[in-house]
């Protein structure tokens, strides 16, 4: 049963991500068609075609390697400059086919020439007004931003539902209500073990504090939040402790003496310090909120994701070192879809997770991956969508300045000249993807 649930979790996660990728590509396809572009292909996956169907002038299908997707929009690259030669031949149906060839050679020159020629393989005589590069700059931005925007919209929708119902695990609300009272004081270096006869009872247990008690004051000082209560305890050393609690409809005054023990000063600072200790664990809830709350949280996520993207090459390098055994893998390191699938499988098969927690964990994973996919695609480098958006914005700025200054229209920006950058970025993405997939198999992170 555990293996079946694990497999079900993995398959559900992978299918959800593939659906998200398909919707991403529709985010490009729909506005492209709306603006009159020719879109001959929409596919999920790469490699050999598993299934496809022709609808209108677009072939929709699924390929064998489910590691992405693409939509083919004709005319992404404009014809080149003077050293490009456009020629017309005819296909087997007698339709004229326009091709572009370059008269000179050179590694990058040839790569660009081949890319242009491949673009124009799809162009027929009646398609000259359906080419992407001919669109106004703002329409290009809409088409290219459509894909990642869909991913971010999916993430927003899922987060909004989760934050409004389940709460946000990233935003804990610690209440001054007792959730548990440990029986004994266990040294910090031995945390997690059972109590023994040599362990002294916790001051809270001696005072008779019970789970469910609402904490009202400490040594006559009232408080309304857990942090204030904790600060009063830690500053009390081994002194007297008079604690007022509300238990049901009663208000009780309980007495004891706090003890001194080593504890961390905060979650961020692992330094151990001698502080007063009572021995109560608070109730922890997750903050909830609606659309405004979700928007604010995603704003914070955006800043964090931009910072993470800036550190991504270094993080992947460290993951690579972990793969070959040179260091431990950082629990906060990035994961591939393989790692995400492992998390989903572990959540689905864990006996510690009730059904609600399993579903919530899966939805959080899908939302998080969609948000990252969307943000990553906005990076302004080819071959990512953000590279095309940057080119369109530059074109709009360049042509707008020419109009403002009364100069001749400079024409379309030739993004083909940036293809060498695209090849380097594409290779880097491939290497990082392989490293993360291998790491998620060899040195995987665990959900629990």
The catalytic site residues sit at 25
Q: At what angle do helices 419-442 and 337-349 cross, to 10 degrees?
A: 30
For residues 332 and 357, give the distance between their C-alpha atoms in angstroms, rounded to a whole number: 21
Tell me phi and psi for residue 57, to 5 degrees.
-100, 15
Q: Which two tokens stand for residue 8?
A: 């079900």
Letter string b/e over residues 74-109, b meaning 16 or more CB atoms within 10 A of that residue's CB: bbbbbbbeeebeeeeeeeeeeeebbbbebeeeeeee
Whether residue 104 contacts residue 87, with contact meaning beta carbons closer than 8 Å, is answered with no
For residues 183 and 204, give the distance between their C-alpha atoms in angstroms, rounded to a whole number: 9
Distances (CA, A) of 174 to 22, 224, 228, 269, 289: 40, 11, 11, 19, 16
Q: Is-cis flag, bond preceding 378, omega within 30?
A: no
For residues 180 and 166, give the distance between their C-alpha atoms in angstroms, rounded to a whole number: 22
Q: 361 CB contacts (<8 Å, ≥6 apart)? A: 343, 344, 347, 353, 447
Whether residue 309 contacts residue 182, with contact meaning beta carbons closer than 8 Å, is answered with no
For residues 324 and 327, give the distance between their C-alpha atoms in angstroms, rounded to a whole number: 8
Question: For the CA atoms of the chain, what is the radius of gyration?
Answer: 30
Helix (H), strand (E) at residue 59 = strand 58-72
For residues 25 and 71, give the distance between their C-alpha atoms in angstroms, rounded to a whole number: 6
Whose CA is closest to 5, among 436, 381, 344? 344
Distances (CA, A) of 307 to 11, 267, 376: 31, 21, 12
Whose CA is closest to 414, among 37, 40, 119? 119
Q: Which two tokens stand for residue 252?
A: 């009780």
Helix (H, G, I), strand (E, B) or coil at 183: coil
């Amino acid at each position: 049963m555990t293996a079946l649930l694990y497999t079900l979790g993995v398959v559900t996660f992978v299918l959800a991500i593939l659906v998200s990728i398909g919707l991403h590509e529709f985010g490009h396809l729909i506005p492209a068609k709306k603006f009159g572009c020719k879109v001959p292909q929409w596919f999920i996956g790469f490699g050999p075609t598993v299934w496809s169907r022709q609808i209108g002038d677009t072939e929709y299908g699924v390929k064998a390697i489910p590691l992405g997707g693409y939509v083919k929009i004709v005319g992404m690259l404009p014809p080149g400059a003077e050293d490009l030669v456009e020629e017309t031949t005819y296909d087997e149906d007698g339709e004229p086919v326009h091709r572009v060839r370059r008269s000179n050679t050179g590694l990058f020159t040839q790569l660009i020439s081949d890319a242009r020629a491949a673009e124009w393989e799809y162009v027929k005589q009646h398609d000259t007004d359906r080419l992407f590069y001919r669109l106004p700059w703002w329409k290009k931005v809409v088409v290219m931003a459509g894909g990642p925007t869909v991913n971010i919209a999916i993430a927003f929708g899922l987060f909004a539902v989760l934050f409004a119902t389940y709460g946000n695990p990233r935003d804990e609300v610690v209440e001054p209500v007792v959730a548990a009272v440990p029986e004994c004081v266990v040294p910090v270096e031995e945390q997690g073990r059972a109590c023994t006869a040599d362990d002294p009872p916790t001051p809270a247990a001696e005072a008779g504090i019970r789970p469910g008690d609402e904490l009202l004051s400490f040594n006559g000082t009232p408080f309304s939040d857990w942090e204030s209560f904790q600060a009063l305890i830690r500053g009390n050393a081994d002194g007297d402790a008079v604690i007022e609690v509300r238990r049901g409809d009663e208000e009780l005054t309980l007495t004891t003496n706090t003890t001194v023990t080593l504890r961390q000063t905060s979650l961020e600072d692992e330094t151990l310090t001698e502080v007063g200790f009572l021995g109560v664990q608070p109730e922890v809830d997750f903050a909830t909120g609606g659309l405004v709350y979700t928007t604010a949280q995603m704003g914070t996520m955006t800043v964090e994701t931009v910072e993470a993207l800036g550190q991504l090459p270094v993080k992947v390098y460290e993951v690579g070192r972990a793969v070959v055994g040179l260091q431990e893998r950082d629990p906060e390191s990035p994961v591939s879809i393989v790692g995400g699938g492992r998390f989903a499988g572990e959540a689905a098969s864990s006996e510690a997770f009730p059904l609600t927690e399993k579903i919530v964990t899966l939805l959080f994973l899908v939302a998080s991956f969609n948000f990252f996919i969307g943000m990553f695609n906005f990076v302004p480098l080819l071959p990512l969508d953000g590279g095309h958006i940057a080119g369109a914005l530059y074109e709009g700025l360049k042509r707008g300045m020419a109009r403002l200054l009364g100069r001749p229209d400079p024409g379309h920006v030739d993004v083909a000249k940036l293809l060498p950058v695209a090849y380097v970025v594409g290779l880097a993405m491939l290497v990082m993807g392989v490293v993360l997939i291998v790491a998620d198999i060899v040195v995987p992170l665990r959900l629990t």
